[in-house]
Amino acid sequence: MSYLIDEGKNASHLLMGNEAIVRGSLEAGINVAAGYPGTPSSEIIECFSQVAKERNLYVEWSTNEKVAVEVAAAASFAGLRSLCVMKQNGVNVASDFLLHLASSGTRGGMLLVTCDDPGALSSVNEGESRLFAQLLEIPLLEPGDFQEAKDIIPWAFALSEKIRNIVMVRSVTRLSHASGNVRFGPLPATAAKAEFHYSGPLLDPDTGPMIAMIVAAPEAQHGPQQEKMKRAAEIFETCPFNTYTGPAAPELLIVTSSACSLYSREAVSILGLTERVGILKLATTWPLPQRLLKKHLAAAPQILFVEEVAPTLEDHVKVVAAEAGAEIGGKIFFGKKSGHLPSLGELNPDLVLAALSRIFAVPYEGAPAAFSGAVKALAARYAPPRGMTFCPGCPHRASYWSINNAVKLDGRGGFVCGDIGCYVMGTMAAGFNTCKTLHAMGSASGIASGFGKLKQFGMGQPVMAVCGDSTFFHAAMPALANAIHQRSPFTLMLMDNRGTAMTGFQPHPGSPTNVLGDTVPALDMEKICRAMGAKVEVSDPFNLEKTRQKLNHLMEYADGAKVLILRRACALSPERRGKKDYEVTVDESRCRGEDCGCNRICTRIFGCPGLIWDGEKKVSRIDEIICVGCGVCADICPAGAIVRKEIA
Amino acid sequence: MSEVKLAKDPYNVIITGVGGQGNVLASRLLGGMLAKKGFIVTIGETFGASQRGGSVMSHLRISREVLASPQIPKGRADVIVSLEPAEALRVLALYGNPDTILLTNNHPIYPVGVIKGDMVYPPVAEMEAAVKEVLPAARFIAATARALALGNSILVNIIMLGALGRLNVVPFNREEFKEAIAARLAAGQLAINLQAFDAGYGMV
């Protein structure tokens, strides 16, 4: 039995923030959860799936985030409690439906859980989902620690049902992927009955059809939506998760939320400022609780905002202060705008320490400067930086190798549009700098579709795009349909590594099993592409020469969109992990090292971590611990020095 | 092992290494044992894009009193356990102080720049001598060699936990380790992991 459904009295476990959100949902009697994988959010759906049978849940990895919200919304319309979950970038994808859902409202409690990634530790950008709460006109809650990440969820479900609208709960990497002690509450019975009532009057919140349609009559739905926000603001005035610690009349008030509240508390404590600084930790960050804020602003002459990414608290609390100016007097504000905290990147205790040390003119030093200086000098000398690279045995390295060679051989200045997945490293040395554009999920195909139509303006460069198998279903299919229909002659290289690899092998519509372990229809990408009208070839990327030939052939074919499916499971996938196909060795007598005509192409360019340059012996050699025995490097050595022997 | 008291509160431990070495399992095993004994534990993990051959780091905060933040302030690590020597030095430079206890595996995992021959990874013995000049009590142990002798390089993380146990600075013992690992791994793997723990215990 999973610890997530521990029913022991006073049970307490060390939980990740993501697990705490799951436990909170179970304590709230959740019925349906849907999402699309993305760091740091992916563990939430996986945890739900582990207890789905015991707790009578329906859980799915949806095709994309918009579909996930729609699936969860259906459950809410039928009176169940549901949740949809995604990383910040997913909210962009889901936003169209979310805007309409916020207008129609919901029935059973429904949460949008977003996990932001300040500092873009595992993202292509430093997104900020909090701004969506303002745009969508829905309430936003931000838990401040692990216990609260659990406790706030039942409260959020209740709020959603009180105001009949979706409620957004935002976590960040340092909560989602950090762990802390969480005391459990009781689990409710799991019986739930779903029924969609639609026979009542239009816009009746309980019995009418669920329709977002306010053509020329904004008062019909936008009016009630604004009333819901007013109710939420009123409820937020007494929300138990908004807390204040510090003296009654502090010299400085810190206004903060989320993981930043922990950094603030630590910094204040380290500097010994607990009697001089108060911390107002807000869990309800949109709409803001005006009276609560006014009360705390009135008590302090100086305010410091501690938050990550966009200065949203800073901007909106300043408005509250300005509106109450006559009552509470002028304030001195510190934060991102004053330059006391950075406007980008994630925060940490040190950045808050530096801000407080500057404001209070209290000197602070983490470690003696002489020591840190000496060790930093040693690190610069002895600890070479660790660049990002593909895993040993990764099919993407082999794919990019062939793509790069095909483009060079073609000789017309062709280029590749990049997409989202492990293969973003196609923009870097790890992927031989092959990709020349990189934006959002599926965008490579759309951009390539556009480039393909520029021939009439004299553009003669062949155009290619990459996408992964999960990305294909998520967002590349509409772009491919566009290219086929518009006869845009680009070549899509569909890098099918048999799962959503980057985030941990979540299934997608092309997978034979779903997250619950059920056998499900696997959509055949090859057949889909053919049926859509593309010219399709399939190749094993580990066969470098054949892949290169097929790609060169497709690049020459000028009439419409073409797809090359590069099919080979990820090296970390369950089907390949721990299995060696070949015993690979370097025949030192044949490796000519730097004197070889290839100028040691194997280590200098190919760059597999399993194949290393021995600077002393001046030969390449296999690192037995790292090599996974894919044998691809044997094909790139012109001297035949890399030898692979099939393992029976 | 007699029960140890925390030398400071919160007591700050960093477990670091390279993606794939089992860093996260080590920190969760340790954190789980401590939480079970009633400590307030925070584990902050940095993984994700960096998990594939990149630097990985877990911050463990152990307290009787407060919930500490998931990031240790710079210069405030009490213990650094590293599964890879260059990572030990990288973390020591940011989070170490003259009193930090440093325990590291001495087997290098080469960054891609070194594999390619663009950068040099100096001999670990030279690094060890240089580190000991600023931090004389630093310990470099041959955990990978020992793990390979036991049959699998993946045991490095458990060997390092055993070595940490011997240092008697973090309050956990072999029995608690046994219980924690038994709860996480298949029954067949228990014996080899206990062997690895004991091997590490005997290495410092």
What are the tens digits of pLDDT across the range A201-249?
A: 988 989 999 998 767 778 888 899 999 999 999 999 999 999 999 999 9
The minimal CB distance from B127 to the residues A181, A262, A382 is found for A382
Q: Is A369 on the interface with B (CB under 8 A)?
A: no
- A272 DSSP 8-state letter: T
Chain B contacts in chain A segment 266-285 (CB below 8 A): 266-267, 269-270
Look at residue A129 in the predicted model and tell me its pLDDT. 96
Q: Which residue is closest to B42 within chain A, CA to CA?
A: A180
Question: Are A378 and B18 in contact (CB < 8 Å)?
Answer: no
| Prediction ipTM score | 0.96
DSSP A450-494: HHTTGGGGT----EEEEEEHHHIIIIIHHHHHHHHHTT--EEEEE
Look at residues B17, B106, B45 and name the one whose alpha carbon lies nearest to residue A122: B45
Question: Cα(A615)–Cα(A632) distance, rounded to whole angstroms?
Answer: 23
CATH fourth-level superfamily of A395-567: Thiamin diphosphate (ThDP)-binding fold, Pyr/PP domains (3.40.50.970)
Q: Is A615 on the interface with B (CB under 8 A)?
A: yes
Question: CA-CA distances (angstroms) from residue A606 to A147, A435, A544?
Answer: 47, 16, 12
Angle at A281 between CA A277 and CA A286, to 5 degrees: 135
The minimal CB distance from B117 to the residues A265, A609, A615 is found for A615
Q: Is A4 on the interface with B (CB under 8 A)?
A: no
User: Which H/E stretch holds residue B55?
Assistant: strand B55-63
Look at residue B1 in the predicted model and tell me its pLDDT. 42
The minimal CB distance from B114 to the residues A178, A384, A605 is found for A384
Listed as ranges, residues in chain A with pLDDT below 50 are none
Furthest-apart CA pair in chain B: how many Å?
Answer: 49
Look at residues A452, A646, A482 and name the one whose alpha carbon lies nearest to residue A559: A452
Q: Is A124 on the interface with B (CB under 8 A)?
A: no
Asked if omega into B10 is within 30° of 0 (cis), the reply is: yes
Question: CA-CA distances (angstroms) from residue A537 to A167, A252, A477, A524?
Answer: 46, 66, 17, 14
Q: Give B3's pLDDT tier (boundaries 50, 70, 90).
A: low
3-state helix, strand, coil in chain A (%, to 5): 40, 20, 45
3-state helix, strand, coil in chain B (%, to 5): 45, 20, 35
Best of B50, B69, B176 to disrupt the A interface by mutation (most A CBs within 10 Å)? B69
Q: Which two tokens stand for residue A110?
A: 């429904």
Question: Are A266 and B68 in contact (CB < 8 Å)?
Answer: yes
Look at residue B117 in the predicted model and tell me its pLDDT. 86
Q: What are the φ/ψ torsions at residue A537 (nearest 5 degrees)?
A: -130, 155
Look at residue B48 in the predicted model and tell me its pLDDT. 52
Look at residue B18 in the predicted model and tell me its pLDDT. 92
For residue B73, the distance in angstroms to the closest alpha carbon of chain A comes to 6
CATH of A582-646 given 1.20.1250.20, 3.40.50.300, 3.10.450.350, 3.30.70.20: 3.30.70.20
Question: CA-CA distances (angstroms) from residue A364 to A307, A358, B74, B76?
Answer: 21, 9, 11, 12
The minimal CB distance from B93 to the residues A122, A146, A375 is found for A375
**Amino acid symbol at B146:** R
Q: Which two tokens stand for residue A190?
A: 């799991």
Q: Which residue is closest to B40 within chain A, CA to CA?
A: A181
- A506 DSSP 8-state letter: B
Question: Are A623 and B110 in contact (CB < 8 Å)?
Answer: yes
Q: Which two tokens stand for residue B201?
A: 């215990």
Q: Do the bridges between strand A284-286 and strand A140-141 make them parallel or antiparallel, or are there none, so unpaired?
A: antiparallel
Is residue B41 within 8 Å of residue A179, measured between CB atoms?
A: yes
CATH architecture of A3-236: 3-Layer(aba) Sandwich (3.40)
Give residue limits of the domains in chain B: 11-201
Question: Cα(A412)–Cα(B37) distance, rounded to whole angstroms?
Answer: 67
Question: Are B48 and A121 in contact (CB < 8 Å)?
Answer: yes
The minimal CB distance from A384 to the residues B74, B111, B148 is found for B111
Question: Cα(B130)–Cα(A508) distance, rounded to whole angstroms?
Answer: 51
Question: Cα(A223)–Cα(A211) distance, rounded to whole angstroms?
Answer: 15
Q: Which residues of A touch B45 (CB under 8 A)?
A: 177-179
Question: Are A389 and B126 in contact (CB < 8 Å)?
Answer: no
| A243-360 against A582-646: fold identical | no
Q: Which two tokens stand for residue A238?
A: 């007494």
CATH of A243-360 given 3.40.50.880, 3.40.50.920, 3.90.226.10, 3.30.420.10: 3.40.50.920
CA dihedral over A259, A263, A266, A268, signed as positive or negative? negative
User: Is a pLDDT exceeding 70 seen at residue B62?
Assistant: yes
For residue B174, the distance in angstroms to the closest alpha carbon of chain A comes to 20
Q: Spell B12-22 as b/e; 16+ CB within 10 A means b.
A: bbbbbbbbbbb
Look at residues A416, A422, A351, A367 and name the one whose alpha carbon lies nearest to residue A391: A422
Angle at A95 between CA A89 and CA A97, to 5 degrees: 140
Q: What are the φ/ψ torsions at residue A473 (nearest 5 degrees)?
A: -70, -35
**Amino acid symbol at A95:** S
Q: Which two tokens stand for residue A622?
A: 């296999």
Question: Cα(A567)–Cα(A390) distance, rounded to whole angstroms?
Answer: 17
Q: Which residue is closest to B39 within chain A, CA to CA?
A: A181
Look at residue B47 in the predicted model and tell me its pLDDT. 67
Q: Which residues of B touch A174 (CB under 8 A)?
A: 44, 69-71
Chain A contacts in chain B segment 101-160 (CB below 8 A): 109-122, 126-127, 130-131, 134-135, 144, 148, 153
Look at residue B2 in the predicted model and tell me its pLDDT. 47
Q: Beta-carbon neighbour count of residue B202 at 10 Å?
A: 12
For residue B149, the distance in angstroms to the closest alpha carbon of chain A comes to 13
CATH of B11-201 given 3.40.920.10, 3.20.20.150, 3.40.190.10, 3.30.70.20: 3.40.920.10
User: Is a pLDDT exceeding 60 seen at residue B51?
Assistant: no
DSSP A2-60: -GGG---TT-EEEEEHHHHHHHHHHHTT--EEEE---TTTTHHHHHHHHTTTTTT-EEE
Question: Cα(A260)–Cα(A310) distance, rounded to whole angstroms?
Answer: 13
Summarize the confidence of residues B138-147 as an average pLDDT: 97
- A431 DSSP 8-state letter: G
Give residue limits of the domains in chain A: 3-236, 243-360, 395-567, 582-646
From start to end of A92-229, where are the E strands? 110-116, 140-141, 167-172, 178-183
Question: Cα(B112)–Cα(A611) distance, rounded to whole angstroms?
Answer: 10
Tokens 């889901």 belong to which residue?
A94
Best of B18, B116, B155 to disrupt the A interface by mutation (most A CBs within 10 Å)? B116
Chain A contacts in chain B segment 17-76 (CB below 8 A): 18, 28, 31-32, 35-36, 40-50, 52-55, 66-76
Q: Which three-class secondary structure state does DSSP give residue B104?
A: strand
Summarize the confidence of residues B31-58 as an average pLDDT: 85
Q: Which residues of B touch A13 (CB under 8 A)?
A: 35
Terminal C-alpha separation, chain A:
39
Q: Is A173 on the interface with B (CB under 8 A)?
A: yes
pTM of the predicted model, to two decimals? 0.97
Q: Is B98 on the interface with A (CB under 8 A)?
A: yes
Half-sphere exposure of B25 (CA within 13 A, CB side): 22
Chain A contacts in chain B segment 184-203 (CB below 8 A): none
Question: Cα(A68)–Cα(A87) distance, rounded to whole angstroms?
Answer: 12
Q: Which residues of A touch B12 (CB under 8 A)?
A: none
